[in-house]
Amino acid sequence: MLADEFSELIQARRSVRDFRPDPVPDEVLAAILDDARHAPSWSNTRPYCLAVASGEQLDRLRASYTAAFDASLPLQHLEPIAVAKAALTGGLPDGDFKTWGRYPDDLRPRSMKVGVGLYRHLGIERGDRAARDAQSRRNCEFFGAPSVAWVFVHKKLLPFSAHDAGLMLQTLMLSAKARGVDSCALGVLATWRSPIEAEFVIPARYQLITGLALGYASDNHVNDFRAEHPPITLAEPR
Ligand SMILES: Cc1cc2nc3c(=O)[nH]c(=O)nc-3n(C[C@H](O)[C@H](O)[C@H](O)COP(=O)(O)O)c2cc1C
């Protein structure tokens, strides 16, 4: 493959936030996973595992994740009674990692930029909480994707296991794109572990770090959104 073609493939991959219902054929999924196994990893430990769901199993997961999302809305809105109640009754998100924390001050503007850009693209006003919640909820519907992977990292090899999972995921997403399959990482799914636990046997030493939606982009306007990709930050030489 020419370098130009490789760059083209890399730049063609982007986060898709509305999928057609068409399933990804089993053999295509298998080929993508087969490519992903060639990603490098710390001491070749491959310190991650995936749970991949589609069909009826994915429908059940969609129902569980949207239910968890709906139940968490008062918490997300920081309604004081809801926060106190959730703390007392164990109704807080049960993910292995905190996904709702405030971004570090130097990174916050970057996150704000993509968030504000996406909502503006969708015509959602800053103060329109109902529309924002509805768009957020789409994450927990997996944007209608026909296949979703949940990604777990070995807790005894962090941070390297998380790093290696990232390498594997980008390999997977590029292989998918080369086969016409679009994707969107779904970090928001790491907020809740119990729904995926109900469907797959996940060893306790593996922690849920992100989800990944796979499928075919629809022609919905949301998919015309383009995130910025400024140059990599380079440290100044002394
Ligand atoms: C680990 C990870 C988790 C992500 N989680 C979400 C998510 O929950 N929802 C979402 O819409 N996008 C999610 N994204 C997509 C990013 O917002 C996106 O990659 C970034 O804005 C750059 O845009 P691009 O992927 O279109 O190039 C995630 C990306 C990564 C790498």
Residue 92 vs residue 36, higher pLDDT = 36
The DSSP annotation for 180-192 comes to: T-EEEEEGGGGG-
CA distance linking residue 9 with residue 166, whole number of Å: 18
CA distance linking residue 130 with residue 206, whole number of Å: 35
**Strand 206-217 with 147-154, pairing:** antiparallel
Tell whether 30 is covered by a domain. yes
Q: What is the mean pLDDT of residues 184-193?
A: 98
Average pLDDT, the chain: 95
Looking up residue 147, the CATH number of its domain turns out to be 3.40.109.10
CA distance linking residue 92 with residue 196, whole number of Å: 16
pLDDT above 70 for 236: yes
* Cβ proximity of 210 and 50 under 8 Å: no
Radius of gyration of the chain (CA): 18
pLDDT above 80 for 91: no
Q: What is the mean pLDDT of residues 101-120?
A: 95
Looking at residue 225, its pLDDT comes to 98
Tell whether 123 is covered by a domain. no
Q: Which of 80-84, 165-169, 190-194 is the least confident region? A: 80-84
Tell whether 74 is covered by a domain. yes
Q: Is the CB of 227 under 6 A from ligand 1?
A: yes
SS3 content of the chain, % helix, strand, coil (to 5): 50, 15, 35
Looking at residue 142, its pLDDT comes to 98
Q: How confident is the model at residue 78 (pLDDT cuts 50, 70, 90)?
A: confident
Q: What is the mean pLDDT of residues 75-92?
A: 77
Q: What is the mean pLDDT of residues 179-188?
A: 98
Paired tokens of 209: 């770090």
Tell whether 20 is covered by a domain. yes
Tell whether 146 is covered by a domain. yes
Amino acid at 149: A
Tell whether 117 is covered by a domain. no
91 CA from centroid of ligand 1 (Å): 26
Backbone angles phi, psi at 8, to 5 degrees: -60, -45
Which helix (DSSP H) or strand (DSSP E) does residue 149 occupy? Answer: strand 147-154
CA distance linking residue 22 with residue 195, whole number of Å: 24
Task: Determine which residue's CA is closest to atom 21 belonging to ligand 1.
Answer: 227
Tell whether 156 is covered by a domain. yes
The position carrying tokens 């469907």 is 199
Q: What is the mean pLDDT of residues 128-132?
A: 95
Q: Is the CB of 183 under 6 A from ligand 1?
A: no
Q: How confident is the model at residue 90 (pLDDT cuts 50, 70, 90)?
A: low
Looking at residue 85, its pLDDT comes to 75
pLDDT above 90 for 44: yes
Cis geometry, peptide bond prior to residue 195 (ω within 30 degrees of 0):
no
pLDDT above 70 for 53: yes
Tell whether 5 is covered by a domain. no
pLDDT above 80 for 176: yes
CA distance linking residue 190 with residue 208, whole number of Å: 6
88 CA from centroid of ligand 1 (Å): 33
CA distance linking residue 65 with residue 192, whole number of Å: 8
Structural domain span for residue 199: 15-103+139-224
Q: Is the CB of 185 under 6 A from ligand 1?
A: yes
pLDDT above 70 for 105: yes
CA distance linking residue 209 with residue 178, whole number of Å: 25
How many structural domains is the chain composed of?
Answer: 1
Q: Is the CB of 177 under 6 A from ligand 1?
A: no
Q: Is the CB of 166 under 6 A from ligand 1?
A: no
pLDDT above 80 for 89: no
pTM metric for this prediction: 0.96
Looking at residue 213, its pLDDT comes to 99
pLDDT above 80 for 1: no
Residues in the chain: 238
Which helix (DSSP H) or strand (DSSP E) does residue 145 occupy? Answer: none
Q: What is the mean pLDDT of residues 187-207?
A: 98
